[in-house]
Each structure stands twice: as C-alpha cells, then as structure tokens.
C-alpha cells in the first residue's frame, strides 16, 4: 500500500556541509533523492529523477522548463532554486501549473558586491597583466611607467540595476573616493539614493555609457536586458572604461564585447559571468590581457552559500506543505 503522507524531494546537487547534514538526517515523511556527483546533473538524469517529485531544490545550472515539469508530474508543488536569479526557470509555466517558486534573495548581496569590487579593482589595476609578468619572468626593475592603471578617486561610476547588489556595490565604491554615481534601471529609486548618499543620479542609458569611468552590471537577466551591452553600447563608452559584469552573461552580447576589445575600445573588463558557463578555454575572450574572467564565484563564500542552501531548504519544505514560501521569487 502506498503511503499517501510521504512526499518526494529531488535535490540536484550536493549542498554545503551544514545543509547537506540536514538532508542526510532527513525530514519527516520526506523521501529525498539527490544527484551527488561532482558535476551538474545531466538532463537525462534530471528528467528521470524528477519523476514523482513533490518538490525540486535546484541550482542556476538546471533549466526548469515544461519538459522537467511534465517529467515530474502534476503532484509537483514547488521549485526552490539556490540562487537569487531565476532566468533559468520558466515562470509562466510554473504559474500556469500552480507551482511555487522560491529564490534566495538578500543573503548573497554582500558576497556578490565584494566580488564586483574585486573585479573593478583587479581590472582597473591591471591585475592579470601584473600577475602574468611575475609568473612569466617579465618583472624588471621598478619602473615609473610600467603597468599603470587607473584609480577610483574622483571618478564617475555607472551602476546598471540599483537593486540590493547595486546598492551594496555603490556603498563599497563610495569608500574609494568615487565622486558621482549614475544609475539605470526600471525606475528611479529615491530610497536607495538616500542610502548611498552623495552625488547620485538616475539617468538615461546613453548618458551613463558616455560619462561613466567604471560601469558595473548588477541587473537581472530578462527580455529587456538580454544583450543590452552590445557593440554599439561599448562604442559609446569612454576608451578608458572599466566594465564589470557580475550579474548574468546573457546581458552582454559577447561577440560585440570581443569586437570592442579587439578594436581597443575598452580600458579593461572584469567578468564573473559569461555565455556559456563554463567558458571554453579556447574562447577568444580569454586572449585579452585587459580582460579578467572569473568562474561565476560572485556568491562563493562558505557563509553565503550556506545561507543560500538553508533558505532553499526552507523554501522547498514550505512549498511541499503548500505553505507560503519564506522567500518567493516576487518577494
Ligand atoms: C547567482 O548568480 C545567483 O543568482 O544566485
């Protein structure tokens, strides 16, 4: 006889230690199935393992579309992604089936803002060329003219997307002596302007591109922002610009970026996100000494990843009970 009380939870990856220990201990009336290999769950396995799931705890590497939902079946109640971004989830499909979607907002703001600042400084101060010089025996006597970068003092910084992360980036960069912030997004955000303080202005994109010494991409990927930074946008930037993207690779038209880099139109670039991920090691993007690429580590601190996985667990457990999620995607 089947036990009508029992629910099935699919977890698509091994979680950070503390959260994994909770899973290993188990939850009352929940059967857990989990992909534990050290790689993203292959699509065919995902479709097989999703069958009969009441809840799915997934990652940003898992594409949640109609095929997965069909494979799971009509009992599926909740998808909980261990990420703040949910561009990998087909939200209308979930809504039409009354499946809740949980995300992990707030807890990764600080770590991701730290990574953004890390890339701004690393790109502006020519970190890649400097490290290469040391490891390749090109370090000569101290020179007044060698490896000169730029600094943030008195500069104008453009932030695209003044959400939680955008605000946290601006607050950090302000401490480096930035003179003025320009920002772009869906609307003016007076509260955020006050939190950041000092000179800050909501401006048209054209002006942000033209006047910013540093541009940080901190917005979500959606239909409006996809390929927003194309060759034409790069051509409008200052030739010395420091361009940093820690949001999603799809916001940048990578061919346009490569062309702009080839033509020497950009000062330096720092990316934590690309298309695809992982970026193949023969990608032309890796051939520019003024372009630093990190492997999507924005939120990768033990503290943050643990907080994210704990929220993802709470979301999925609530959703399986048909309770309101602590962190729904529209929170
Ligand atoms: C990371 O990129 C996230 O969306 O959480």
Say whether both 194 and 205 belong to one domain.
yes
Domain interval for residue 41? 3-107+303-321
- The residue contributing the CA closest to ligand 1 atom 4 is 85
Weakly modelled stretches of the chain, pLDDT under 50: 1
Provide the sign of the torsion angle of the four alpha carbons 199, 204, 207, 213, taken in this order. positive
For residue 38, what pLDDT is reported? 86
CB atoms under 10 Å from CB of 22, counted, come to 13
The residue whose CA is least distant from atom 3 of ligand 1 is 83
pLDDT in tens, 34-62: 999 989 999 999 999 999 999 999 999 99
Contact 234, 256 (CB under 8 A): yes
User: CB atoms < 10 A from the CB of 187, how many?
Assistant: 7
pLDDT at position 4 is 61
* Digit-coded pLDDT (tens) for 117-151: 999 999 999 999 999 999 999 999 999 999 999 99
The rounded distance, in Å, linking the Cα atoms of 175 and 21 is 39
Instruction: In whole angstroms, give the CA distance from residue 90 to residue 73.
Output: 16
Alpha helices, DSSP H, located in the chain: 17-25, 43-50, 66-72, 91-96, 109-124, 127-135, 164-174, 190-196, 205-211, 231-236, 254-262, 302-320
Residue whose CA is closest, atom 5 of ligand 1? 83
Is residue 255 in some structural domain?
A: yes
Residues 247 and 118 in one domain: yes
Provide the domain count of the chain. 2
Domain assignment present for residue 330? The answer is: no
In the annotation, is 296 catalytic? yes
Q: Does a structural domain hold residue 134?
A: yes
Q: Is the CB of residue 111 below 6 angstroms from any atom belonging to ligand 1?
A: no
Round to whole Å and give the CA distance between 35 and 33: 7
Same domain, 145 and 284: yes
Residue in 108, 250, 271 to alter for ligand 1 test, most ligand atoms within 8 A of Cβ: 108
- Ligand 1 within 6 A of 299 CB? yes
Binding site membership of 108 for ligand 1 (Cβ less than 6 Å): yes
pLDDT at position 3: 56
117: CATH: 3.40.50.720
* Whether residue 175 is found in the same domain as residue 30: no
Residue 326 in any domain: the answer is no
Whether residue 328 is contained in a domain is answered as: no
pTM of the model: 0.95
d(CA 109, CA 287): 30
Question: How distant, in Å, are the alpha carbons of 138, 189, 203 from that of 236?
Answer: 34, 25, 15
Residues 309 and 250 in one domain: no
């Amino acid at each position: 006889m089947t036990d009508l009380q029992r629910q099935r939870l699919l977890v698509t990856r091994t979680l950070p230690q503390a959260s994994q220990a909770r899973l290993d201990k188990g939850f009352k009336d929940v059967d857990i199935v989990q992909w534990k290999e050290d790689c993203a769950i292959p699509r065919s396995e995902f479709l097989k393992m999703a069958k009969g799931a009441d809840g799915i705890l997934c990652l940003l590497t898992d594409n949640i579309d109609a095929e997965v939902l069909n494979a799971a079946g009509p009992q599926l109640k909740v998808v909980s992604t261990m990420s703040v971004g949910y561009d990998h989830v087909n939200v209308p499909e979930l809504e039409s089936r009354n499946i809740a979607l949980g995300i992990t907002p707030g807890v990764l703001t600080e770590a991701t803002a730290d990574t953004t600042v890390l890339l701004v400084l690393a790109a502006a101060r020519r970190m890649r060329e400097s490290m290469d010089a040391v490891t390749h025996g090109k370090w000569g006597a101290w020179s007044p003219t060698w490896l000169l970068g730029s600094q943030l003092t008195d500069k104008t910084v453009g932030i695209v997307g003044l959400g939680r992360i955008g605000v946290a980036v601006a607050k950090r960069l302000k401490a480096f002596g930035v003179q003025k912030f320009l920002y772009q997004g869906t609307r003016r955000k007076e509260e955020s302007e006050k939190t950041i303080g000092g000179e800050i202005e909501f401006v048209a994109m054209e002006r942000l591109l033209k006047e910013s010494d540093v541009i940080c991409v901190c917005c979500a990927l959606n239909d409006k922002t996809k390929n927003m930074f194309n060759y034409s946008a790069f051509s409008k930037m200052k030739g010395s610009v420091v361009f940093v993207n820690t949001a999603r690779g799809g916001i940048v038209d990578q061919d346009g970026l490569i062309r702009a880099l080839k033509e020497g139109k950009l000062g330096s670039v720092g990316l934590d996100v690309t298309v695809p991920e992982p970026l193949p090691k023969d990608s032309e993007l890796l051939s520019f000494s003024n372009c630093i690429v990190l492997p999507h580590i924005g939120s990768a601190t033990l503290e943050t990843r643990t907080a994210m996985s704990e929220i993802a667990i709470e979301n999925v457990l609530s959703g399986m009970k048909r309770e309101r999620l602590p962190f729904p995607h529209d929170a």
